[in-house]
Amino acid sequence: MTHLYHPNVPLVTRDGVTLVADVWRPLEGRTPTLLLRTPYDRRATHQFGGHNSPTPSLMPLINAGYAVVIQDARGTGMSDGIFEPKLNEIVDGQDTVAWVREQSWSDGTVAMYGQSYMGMVQWALAISGTPGLRAIIPTTAALDWYRDAWYSQGGAMSLSLNTWWNALMYSGQERRNSISDPGHNPASQERLDGALLDPLELNSFTPLADLPVHGTGRWFDDFIAHPGFDEYWKRQDWSGPEIMSKVSVPVFSIGGWYDLKVSGTVGGFIGVRRHGGSEEAREKSRLLIGPWDHTSFTGRFADRSYGIRAEADISAEHIAFFDENLRGVPLTAPAPRVRIFVMGIDRWRNEVDWPLPDTRYVGYYLDSGGAAATRHGDGVLQVTLPERDTFDEFIYNPHDPVPTAGGALLPAQPGLIGPVDQSKVDGREDVLCYVTPVLEKSLEVTGHVELKVFMSSSAVDTDITAKLIDVFPDGRAFNLCDGMLRLRYRGGLSTPSPLVPEEVYEVTVNMGLTSNVFLPGHRLRLDISSSNFPRFDRNTNTGGIIAHESVDAAVAASNRVHHGPLNSSRLILPIIAR
């Protein structure tokens, strides 16, 4: 036996709430401590990691000589108090680190790890300058809870995430209530548990504000009451330069190309590199991105697999980073600042920074391929400006939205997440397709993708969605990255304004980021529409508060994409030429 196990260890916070943790520590001596704080039950098996898990395996951490503390967050698991997302994580985390440093087996240094919410709690302590904290490894985590979690870069609600996650957390709270209160009515618990058996069904209910399983009076009400990036969300945004300047510890950011929070993962790395509060933070922070989704690092999806080459030894990556930053163990070889999996050629590559310093941004212009106006399927992507101005038109009907076909969906549903063959949406008259000629040589796209497009609509508000796709010689077409913009937010997420029907606006759609080599014989494709359901909520096109509207009140919108010499709609790609 090389370590001791202490279950159910209590810790009393500054406001008198008891938090409960399990502790593993070496038999003797003082050692650095690795801390994981979770709202998902510290004893759940996924907290202990495993092969191809985003979380490192517990035993390698222990065998490397570290003490490990896994704690239930306030109001979850066995910890007392009331859970409110993000609200108490700074003070509870500070109290936990202070407690760890007082223990006889602690050498006074602490690092943190964990994915998603467990990554956010790490950022909470890093930005607060917690004494004793020496390093963090936030995995698939967000800094900006509006753009990178509950809503999107373009202002639509991340619908399937909201309906599923809030039902999951409310279910846990109802279960706690049933244990502590013998008179508790189990009806709410039964409804929530039933909904979680098929969480995608929750997305069809409108108005969203009246979703029965979520009840009233809890944080979901706040989420839907603030559809724009207002003060409520600004207080929860930790991504700005001023806040990043408070981070003085090295950060190892880990994520996946098909993760909902990959923009936040990369944004955190960039923020610390540019604005970190110490040279150590700026120079020793790292970034790792694989062809993974939010919950699995296998690189294997229903329609496409990147195979064994997509795997990474996450436990070994953690231990090496902790050894360097907690124990000062020199690396046997310089660690890459950035390591990415390049799809298409399906191999790992080391880089000196992100964005890649040799990135060249190239515009691919939209054209109708000779037709005066096209509804779907025959548009063109070209590097030269079209000779004449025209438009492509489609009808967006909220009663029949374009179904989600791949991308960063949560919950992770097989066949809906990651790279998906776009034959599932091909041929729809509400999807415009623009493609390049067949490539004669390889073309690498690595970095942030953007669409600048001229739009008009018959409605006072509507959405535009955009998706970058790799078309194979045999006709299979796989999505790489995507984004959307709710057009009321074309001037900024804090300043909604209605459209003037039929007026043409130039807008920018943030399409996220990717790394892919389009091989000879392949083609690049851009799909444009006005819905991606249930990844995003449906725009009712009325200009009203969407969460409070029934789909029965929605109206169809006739939307146009304008392109030509004057309306130079273009896809902007980060090209790497080596």
Which are the catalytic amino acids? 116, 259, 294
Parallel, antiparallel, or unpaired for β 338-342 and 286-290?
parallel
Phi, psi of 509 (to 5 degrees): -110, 115
What is the rounded radius of gyration, in angstroms, for the C-alpha atoms of the chain?
A: 24
| The amino acid at 384 | T
In a 3-state reduction of DSSP, which class is residue 281? helix
CA distance 375 to 323: 58
Angle between helix 159-180 and 187-197 (nearest 10): 140
Place of tokens 């600042």: 337
CA distance 377 to 423: 12
In a 3-state reduction of DSSP, which class is residue 165? helix
In a 3-state reduction of DSSP, which class is residue 180? helix
The two tokens of residue 559 are: 């939307």
8 Å CB contact between 527 and 467? yes
| 489-150-569 Cα angle (round to 5) | 35
8 Å CB contact between 455 and 383? no
Using a CB cutoff of 8 Å and minimum separation of 24, what contacts does 166-169 make?
Answer: 166/214, 166/218, 166/219, 166/220, 166/223, 167/192, 167/195, 167/196, 167/199, 167/202, 167/213, 167/214, 168/196, 169/39, 169/83, 169/85
CA distance 527 to 377: 9
Q: Which residues of 538-571 are buried (b: 16+ CB within 10 A; e: fewer)?
A: bbbbbbeebbbbebeebbbbebbbbbbeebbbbb
CA distance 170 to 188: 9
CA distance 254 to 318: 10
Eight-state DSSP code of residue 316: H
Residue 172: half-sphere exposure toward Cβ, Cα within 13 Å: 22
Q: Which residues of 146-167 are buried (b: 16+ CB within 10 A; e: fewer)?
A: bbbbbbbbbbbbbbbbbbbbbb
The two tokens of residue 377 are: 């399927």
| The amino acid at 482 | D
User: 255 - beta bridge partners?
Assistant: 289
